[in-house]
């Protein structure tokens, strides 16, 4: 099997294993993270209604224009601050974190730390 396909398959297995325990509601939504080589995306999801409450990514117009590179830690921090602002606007203070099968390291950690500093509790 191709090395990249194998890495993706393993990440998806880790993601499914974690999703057995991580569940979001309207009061405590799930912060789901997806990262690609060039961008990072995050969503607040209510799993009961299967509805996305808020989303932020490095492709958002205001972040896209201000960031010189969008696939690094400072860009992930900006996305974390943006999702925290949008959560506060909805009255959400507490979330559960879904790292998407990625290691809690680098860009994923930078996004979560920025969201914590901006006021989200998880």
Report the C-alpha gap between 21 and 89 in whole angstroms. 27
Output the pTM of the full model.
0.91
- The DSSP-derived string for 18-86 is HHTT----SSS-EEEEEE-SS-EEEEEEETTTTEEEEEEETTSHHHHHH-S-SSSHHHHHHHHHHHHHH
CATH number, domain 3-117: 3.30.420.100
What does the pLDDT look like over 48-103, one tens digit per residue? Answer: 999 999 999 999 999 999 999 999 999 999 999 999 999 999 999 999 999 999 99
Rounded to whole angstroms, how far apart are CA atoms 120 and 11?
26
pLDDT computed for residue 1 by the predictor = 65
Residue 120 has pLDDT above 70, yes or no: yes
Residue 4 binned pLDDT confidence (cut-offs 50, 70, 90): very high
Task: Give residue 37's pLDDT.
Answer: 94
Structure tokens at 41: 């995306």
């Amino acid at each position: 099997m191709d090395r990249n396909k194998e890495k993706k398959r393993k990440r998806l297995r880790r993601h499914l294993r974690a999703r057995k325990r991580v569940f979001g509601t309207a009061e405590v939504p799930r912060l789901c993270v997806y990262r690609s080589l060039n961008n990072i995306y995050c969503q607040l999801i209510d799993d009961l209604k299967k509805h996305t409450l808020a989303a932020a990514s490095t492709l958002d117009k205001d972040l896209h224009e201000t960031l010189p590179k969008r696939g690094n830690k400072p860009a992930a921090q900006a996305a974390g601050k943006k999702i925290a602002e949008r959560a506060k606007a909805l009255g959400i203070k507490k979330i559960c974190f879904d790292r998407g099968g990625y290691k809690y390291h680098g860009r994923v950690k930078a996004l979560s730390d920025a969201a914590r500093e901006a006021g989200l509790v998880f």
